[in-house]
Amino acid sequence: MKALLQRVRHAAVEVDGERIARIGGGLLVLLGVEQGDTDEQARWLAAKTLDLRIFADNHKPMNASVLDVGGSVLAVSQFTLAADTRKGNRPGFSTAAPPEQALPLFDAYVEALRSRCEAVQTGRFGADMQVTLQNDGPVTIMLER
């Protein structure tokens, strides 16, 4: 399982021209679920997402978590994070979990986020989404478990 975290000033998701989610400052998380991933991994990644100290406080530029700064989280399922690009020029997705396995793990990740953070929104699993964001920093970090 991979979570690509982007520190943002704001982010939003649209589906079919309709805005379905929007956050102010916080984290945009693109979550890729691979075959063999587990609920335990989803919970670990959620905890790491919320506890990672990548926001500024009065002492250091990267000393506070999204929870510490009262930020929001926008989680978006992104199967393309499982892309295999070792051969040729067309990515392969054989390691990506099929939707019937990926959706429950995405939901487990989101539930674990929401158990500690009230300000969590999501994209729409499996939809063609347009994601807009204003990166802050930029700070972009890949978490894998």
Does the annotation mark 80 as catalytic?
Answer: yes
> Considering just the CA atoms, what is the radius of gyration of the chain in Å?
15
Report how many helices (DSSP H) and strands (DSSP E) the chain contains, helices first: 2, 6
Q: Which of 6, 49, 79, 106 is catalytic?
A: 79
Does the annotation mark 125 as catalytic?
Answer: no
In whole angstroms, give the CA distance from residue 16 to residue 123.
12
Does the annotation mark 38 as catalytic?
Answer: no
3-state secondary structure of 67: coil
Which helix (H) or strand (E) segment holds residue 32: the answer is strand 26-32
Identity of residue 42: A
3-state secondary structure of 31: strand
Distance from chain centroid for Cα 115: 16
Q: Which of 49, 78, 121, 122 is catalytic?
A: 78
Q: Which of 35, 80, 95, 130 is catalytic?
A: 80
Residues designated as active site: 78-80
